[in-house]
Structure 1
Amino acid sequence: MCFIWDCTKSFARRHPKCFVGFFHPFTVLFVLGCTVFFVGLQMFYVVPELFKTDTLMYKLAWIAAIFITYNILGNMLACHLTDTSVGSLPKDRQIPEPGEEPMWDFCDVCEKPMPPRSWHCVLCNRCILKRDHHCIFTATCIGHNNQRYFFWFTFYLALGTGVALTTHMLVVLQYCSYFDLVTRNIDSYRRLPSWLYLNLFVTMYAFPAPAAAIVVQFLALRLNGTLHDLYSKTYDLGIRKNFKMIVGERGLWTFLSPSIKSPLPHDGTKWETKDTDISEC
């Protein structure tokens, strides 16, 4: 797996246009296809095994499925459409104010100054404010302005696949006991419908990736870091302030919808630390 990852990164650096032109459409369609597949599977096959279609619980399951799907796709789209590059700043903030010059770096590719914690992305071909990483699933870089949407995107992906895995397991336990599953009783496996048996394993493999992604985001949120400085306490202002640095002034209300306006505390050029007001990345 590490070998494949290293080869992918090497190819992306050497052929950025080719990488973006192929992988971005492929991975975006992959997310859309998987979302439609799992929602359809859940609501038309799995949930009816748990609740009758004329009950309140079945209707509530539909509401939950629509809510989760809306937030997956809505935050994914908002993440892609939100410009988080240095170029998104007002013209007067694209250059350091007097006294800030030592804290800014110079990008040799863009031939422009960039604020602390900014990095140049070879795939986006621009400098990104508080660059976290380039996400092929949202077809854009994750940085200061759109990390909120990526956080909730991964959260709802993990929530959706987690709910799918749980409901699959509940249906499986209607056909055989938990003890039979643990002891791998062959007769119990034979009682399972083939579609349920197959999709249970698909769901088991689908859950770990978004779960790992949201864990990494929580690690970054805990110390107000990024993938570049995940365990650094340089910018740690406490969990509440760190959370607002990502989701904005509306805080947990952003959980409800990507359309909720939630202004960020600053524009991504000045970073407060415990010791100073502005710090060098």
Structure 2
Amino acid sequence: MCLLWACTRSFAHRHPKIFVGFLHPFAVILVLVITVYFVVLQMFYVVPKLFEMDTLVYKLFWLLAIFICYNIFGNMLACHLTDTSVPSLPLEKQSPEPGEGHLWDFCDICERKMPPRSWHCVLCNRCILKRDHHCIFTATCIGHNNQRYFFWFTFHMALGTGVALATHTLVVLQYCSYMNLFFLNFSNVKDLPNWLFLSLLVNIYALAAPGAALFVQFLALHINGTLHDLYSETYNLGIWRNFKMVVGEKGLWTFFSPTIKSPLPHDGTKWEAKDVGIGEC
């Protein structure tokens, strides 16, 4: 995995236009296909093995599937459409205020100063506010203005594949029990229908990617950091304040929909550092 990451990163830096032109559409289509695949598989093949299609529980599964899909696609689109670059700031905010010039770094590519915690992205060809990383699945950089949407995008992806894995597992256990007169016997796993066995394997791998991404996001959120400074607590203001730095004033309400307005505490040019209390870094 580390080798794959290193090779991908190297290719992105050497051939950014080819990387963006090919990998972005491929990754976005992959997310769409996998999501639709699991919804169809779950609602028409797996869940009916557990509950009759005319029961309330089955209808509740449909509501859950619609809710998760809405948040996956909605947060994915909002993440892509939200500009989190330095040029997205009002013109007067794109330069340091008097006395703050020493806190800003100079970007050799853009040939201008950029706010603290900003990085230049070779794929976006812009400096990104509080740059976390460039995400191929949302076809954009993740930074100060759109990290909220990326966080909930990965959360609902992990939630959806997690629920799918749970129902898959229940069907497998049910099948193993049935094949041995209702006593669980894992020796019957080899007799599982091919479609169920293959879909279970796909489900395990499908959960790994958003699960890992969400885990890293939790690590970053815990210390108000980014992928570049996961071990620094310079900006750690406490878990709840850190969380609001990402999702905005509405906090956990943003879980329900990407359309909920939740203003961020600041514009991403000034950062309160833990070791200075109220200072700016």
TM value normalised by structure 2 = 0.95
Q: How does 1:8-157 map to 2 (within 5 A)?
A: 8-157=8-157
Q: How does 1:119-198 map to 2 (within 5 A)?
A: 119-177=119-177, 180-181=185-186, 185=187, 188-198=188-198
Compute the displacement of 1:194 (Å): 1.8
SS at match of 2:4: helix
Give me the whole-angstrom Cα distance separating, in 2, the residues matched to 1:277 and 1:118.
Answer: 20
Code of the residue aligned with 2:82 in structure 1: it is T
SS at match of 2:185: helix
- Whether the 8 Å CA contact 2:85–2:128 is kept in 1: the answer is yes
SS at match of 1:134: strand
Give me the whole-angstrom Cα distance separating, in 1, the residues matched to 2:171 and 2:72.
Answer: 25
- Whether the 8 Å CA contact 1:17–1:123 is kept in 2: the answer is yes
Segment of structure 1 superposing worse, 240-249 or 4-13 = 4-13
Q: Which residue of 2 aligns with 1:277?
A: 278
Give me the whole-angstrom Cα distance separating, in 2, the residues matched to 1:229 and 1:172.
Answer: 42
- Whether the 8 Å CA contact 1:175–1:191 is kept in 2: the answer is no
Give me the whole-angstrom Cα distance separating, in 1, the residues matched to 2:136 and 2:200.
Answer: 26
Compute the displacement of 1:279 (Å): 3.8
Compute the displacement of 1:179 (Å): 5.4
Give me the whole-angstrom Cα distance separating, in 1, the residues matched to 2:216 and 2:47.
Answer: 31
Give me the whole-angstrom Cα distance separating, in 1, the residues matched to 2:59 and 2:200.
Answer: 23
Code of the residue aligned with 1:11 in structure 2: it is F
Compute the displacement of 1:276 (Å): 4.1
Segment of structure 1 superposing worse, 192-201 or 130-139 = 192-201
Code of the residue aligned with 1:12 in structure 2: it is A
SS at match of 2:244: helix
Q: Which residue of 1 aligns with 2:180?
A: none
Q: Which residue of 2 aligns with 1:264?
A: 264
- Whether the 8 Å CA contact 1:270–1:278 is kept in 2: the answer is no
Which ranges of structure 2 fall in alignment gaps of 5 or more residues? 178-182
SS at match of 1:207: helix
SS at match of 1:205: helix
Which ranges of structure 1 fall in alignment gaps of 5 or more residues? none
Number of aligned residue pairs: give it: 275
Q: CA RMSD in A?
A: 1.2
Compute the displacement of 1:2 (Å): 2.3
Code of the residue aligned with 2:34 in structure 1: it is C
- Whether the 8 Å CA contact 2:106–2:114 is kept in 1: the answer is yes
TM value normalised by structure 1 = 0.95
SS at match of 2:84: coil
Matched, 1:220 2:246: no
Give me the whole-angstrom Cα distance separating, in 1, the residues matched to 2:41 and 2:189.
Answer: 20
Report % sequence identity: 73
